[in-house]
Amino acid sequence: MKKRNLRTDFEVTELKPDIYRINEFDVANCYLVVGEKRALLIDTGTGIGNIVAVVRGITSLPVDVAATHGHPDHLGGKNWFKHYYVHPDDEKMSRKISPALRAGLLLFQGPARKKYGIGLRDLTPGEHPAEPIPMEEGHLFDLGGRTVEVYHTPGHTRGSVIFKLVEDQIVFSGDDVNPFLFLFLPGSTTVREWIPGAERILSLSEGCVNYCGHGADPVPPEQIRAQIRLAEELVRRGNRFPLPVRIAKCADAGAMIFYRPAHVK
């Protein structure tokens, strides 16, 4: 039988020496941090093509995999690895990632599919039934000369975490302070519950560059501040809107919050 050629032409950008963004065809960002002894892959993408081959093209060191949260666009490729670290509050969600869920997600990515010529045929099953390892607040990844700290910041999902590279002054914030902030999903917190985590991300990002799970641009602190102000305003206002999902825009930043009116406080 003819072996299928799996896509490995991910766009890889070296953000700093030995720290890479692996752009999974504009669907999601994965980040690879290479230390002296180990490497850490933050998120696996949806599972398009063969991400292990991409990682192996960069480093031959042992690689740990850790997730910013349990969504299928960030952990859909987990089965390329034997284990993945995930916050316990998102473990159940991560176990439920199915081929159908990943396919459904890809069907919503019209522009990315067109730009890169990717399709459902490019979703790969991986090589293992990956097992989760619980990763709590305060977990440290010592990569040798590089330390990665884990902070629990519930909001976009209850088990969302951010990773801080201590020596490099970089924060990877997953989907928790994206310019298009989704708080309407089934596993999201209320708008009010998101605020303390966002304030924490803001203070942990001080003096750092903050990279998120989608798009190439770093998240500026002014954007997070504007979203927190907007969230506080939404909580103050309360909600009497009959629609299932509403979009609120920041007055002074190009950012917004997608939320459920019945799930604000």
Residues lying near Zn ion in the complex (CB under 5 A) are found at 71, 73, 175, 213
**CB 153 → Zn ion: shortest distance, Å?**
13
Choice between 49 and 155, CB closer to Zn ion: 155
Choice between 38 and 263, CB closer to Zn ion: 263
Choice between 159 and 213, CB closer to Zn ion: 213
- The token duo for 168 is 């490099």
Choice between 30 and 231, CB closer to Zn ion: 30
Q: b/e for 150-172, b at 16 or more Cβ within 10 A? A: bbbbbbbbbbbbbbbbeebebbb
**How many residues belong to the chain?**
265
**CB 113 → Zn ion: shortest distance, Å?**
16
Report how far residue 247's alpha carbon sits from residue 227's, in angstroms, rounded to the nearest whole number.
12
Strands 140-142 and 147-152: antiparallel
Choice between 35 and 155, CB closer to Zn ion: 155
- Helices (H) then strands (E): counts for the chain: 7, 15
DSSP-derived 3-state class of residue 59: coil
**CB 75 → Zn ion: shortest distance, Å?**
10
**CB 71 → Zn ion: shortest distance, Å?**
4
Place of tokens 């995999």: 65
The distance from CA 258 to its chain's CA centroid, rounded to whole angstroms, is 17
* 193 neighbors 230 (Cβ within 8 angstroms): no
**CB 123 → Zn ion: shortest distance, Å?**
16
